[in-house]
Amino acid sequence: MKKQVVIQAGGKGKRLRPHTYVLPKPLMPLGDSTLLETNIKWLCKNGVVNQIITLGYLGHLISAIIDNGSQYGAEIDYYSEEKPLGTAGSLVNLVDELEDHFLLMNGDLVVDLDIDKFKETHLDNNYDITVGAFTTQHQIDYGVLGLDDRKLLKTFDEKPEIDTLVAMGVYFINKKVVSHIPSGSPFGMDNLINQVLKGGGRVGIFHHQGIWLDIGRLKELSNIQEEYSRIESLLLGI
């Protein structure tokens, strides 16, 4: 089975303004490269050469710079959204191009997950969708109260850190579930997963414990730019 990825690169990147007034988020500079180029090279290094990039806001800049991907060893096709379709909506228009099982990832993250193990987890468990998952820590800004059965105070924790399992924006998907997606309407991965679950489908997780950086805000972009040499070495062996 050929490895294939759909990279979602159509968002407006409002939280990265003013940078995204002139460049789409996937073309944010990282070292001598860009976020999207880093992901393309990382995917190729892991054997995912067949890549489809969905375009929207300033998409012509992405296709002009990335072209057909041959300079990275990739084989890249594009799909342009006439209007925003959410994190899953474009898949229904790509159904004839999709492999039976394919990788879907947001274009605004950096990750070093083991794609082979991710795929193995997906196939061996016969999941319809496998969600890449990561444990994050959040500090609560207030004192947290715990009550007993009588509504009396049992514990008082001042600004505790709480572990939360979150979706990373990376998924392995069985092509058959694309039939749940309406044509021409915005539809998110949360909508798709809930539709699959309501229909009795199997949705599992792949718990990743390595690098996962979501470049959605200016502070996060600045942090990864400062650390990019180290991250590039870990991702690409450079």
Q: Where are the domains of the chain?
A: 4-132+167-236
pTM of the model: 0.87
Angle at 170 between CA 43 and CA 232, to 5 degrees: 40
Of 109, 115, 150, which is closest to residue 43 (Cα–Cα)? Answer: 115
pLDDT reported for residue 104:
96
Tell me the C-alpha distance between 43 and 112, whole Å. 10
* DSSP code at position 5: E
Residue 7, amino acid: I
Give yes or no for a contact between 108 and 35, defined as CB atoms under 8 angstroms apart.
yes
Cβ proximity of 6 and 172 under 8 Å: no
Q: Tell me the C-alpha distance between 149 and 76, whole Å.
A: 59
Predicted pLDDT of residue 136: 87
**Correct CATH for 4-132+167-236 of 1.10.10.10, 3.40.50.720, 3.90.550.10, 3.20.20.80:** 3.90.550.10
Where on the phi/psi map is residue 237: left (φ > 0), alpha (ψ -120 to 50), or beta? left
Beta bridge partners of 53: 7, 78
Quick one: pLDDT at residue 129?
97
The neighbouring-strand residues paired with 109 are 214
> pLDDT digit of tens for each residue in the chain (238 aa)?
678 999 998 777 677 677 667 678 888 888 778 889 999 999 999 999 999 999 877 878 988 889 899 999 999 999 988 888 888 889 999 999 999 999 999 988 889 999 999 999 999 999 999 999 999 888 888 888 888 888 889 898 888 888 899 999 999 999 999 999 998 888 999 999 999 999 999 999 999 998 888 876 777 777 777 777 777 777 777 6
CA distance 3 to 103: 8
Q: Which two tokens stand for residue 4?
A: 């294939």
CA distances from 93 to 98, 105, 129, 136, 162 (A): 10, 17, 19, 34, 40
* Gap between the Cα atoms of 13 and 15, Å rounded: 6
**pLDDT at residue 13, as a whole number:** 65
pLDDT at 234: 75
The count of other CB atoms within 10 Å of the CB of residue 146 is 9
CA distance 229 to 32: 10
| pLDDT of amino acid 152 | 87
